[in-house]
Amino acid sequence: MGDDADGRDAADSDDDRDAAGDRADDGGAGVRSDGAGTEEVVAPDPDSDSDAESADDEAAVFAVPTETDSDRGTAWRRTLVRTGELTADVVDSLVSLHGSRGVRAVEAVSEGRVKRYRDFTVVVGYAEEYVVEDGGCTCKDSSYNLDPDEDDQRCWHVLAAAVAERIGEVDHHDMWYSDVREFI
């Protein structure tokens, strides 16, 4: 982007900021600057009409929602959406929040084991493939060991899908998983 006459980057112009000093986008989200070079992501306005459309769009794209009841869980997902890459800080957050499940999730993403079919997102486990949908998973860890009402308790398959979807590391297949499943 070009510089303004006063040397500021055009993206930082005051014209792009709302009354609170946030850089706003169409969904009511923005980046708030404290004026000293520190910025923070500002959550979308829950009363905004565009947020409903945004949530619907996200549901069509992500098998695991970005927004959770856990601030820490939402933070690393938002960072992935914003940056589109898996940084050391995100890995640290993921591992500190989810332990060995976070480590396994990162391994699965790096090994390309997250697949998206027409009907489901699937993560290839060590013994089976597991369907991840609406933030849940068909694995036994999810069924028996984790509380589905606690956003900080997710199996590594769900975590892998959440990461892969946000950094573009999903292996897309233009077929129905229900048809493929017959051959597995």
What percentage of residues in the chain have a pLDDT greater than 70? 62
Same domain assignment for residues 141 and 97: yes
For residues 170 and 148, state if they share a domain: yes
Asked whether the beta carbons of 164 and 61 are under 8 A apart, the reply is no
**Residue 144 maps to a domain:** yes
Based on the domain organization, do 104 and 175 belong to the same domain?
yes
Name the band, by pLDDT with cuts 50, 70 and 90, for residue 168.
very high
Model confidence pLDDT, tens digit, residues 69-124: 667 778 888 999 899 999 999 999 999 999 999 999 999 999 999 999 998 899 99
Residues 57 and 80 in one domain: no
At residue 175, does pLDDT exceed 80? Answer: yes
Q: 115 has which bridge partners?
A: 122, 171
pLDDT of residue 43: 38
Residue 174 and residue 121 in one domain: yes
Q: Report which DSSP code applies to 20.
A: T
1 part of a folded domain: no
The pLDDT assigned to 157 comes to 95
Cα→Cα distances 82→29, 40, 78, 165, Å: 11, 11, 6, 12
- In this structure, the answer to whether residues 47 and 85 fall within a common structural domain is no
Residue 106 lies in a domain: yes
Residue 14 has pLDDT above 50, yes or no: no
Domain that residue 94 falls in? 64-183
For the question of whether the overall pTM of this predicted structure is more than 0.95, the answer is: no
Do residue 126 and residue 45 come from a single domain?
no
Q: Is residue 112 part of a domain?
A: yes
Residues whose CB is less than 8 angstroms from the CB of residue 139 and which lie 6 or more positions away in sequence, other chains included: 125, 128, 130, 155, 157
Is the pLDDT at 11 greater than 90? The verdict is no
Residues 109 and 170 placed together within one structural domain of the fold: yes
- Work out how many domains the chain is built from and give that number: 2
Q: Are residues 176 and 86 in the same domain?
A: yes
Tell me whether residue 8 is in a domain.
no
Report if residue 120 sits inside a domain. yes
In a domain, 7, yes or no: no
pLDDT digits (tens, 9 = 90+) for 24-81: 443 434 334 444 444 443 334 434 444 444 444 554 577 776 676 667 778 888 999 8
Read off the pLDDT of each residue in 117-144 and give the average, rounded to a whole number: 92
Q: Do both 89 and 173 map to the same domain?
A: yes
Residues 44 and 82 in one domain: no
Do 57 and 120 lie in a common domain? no
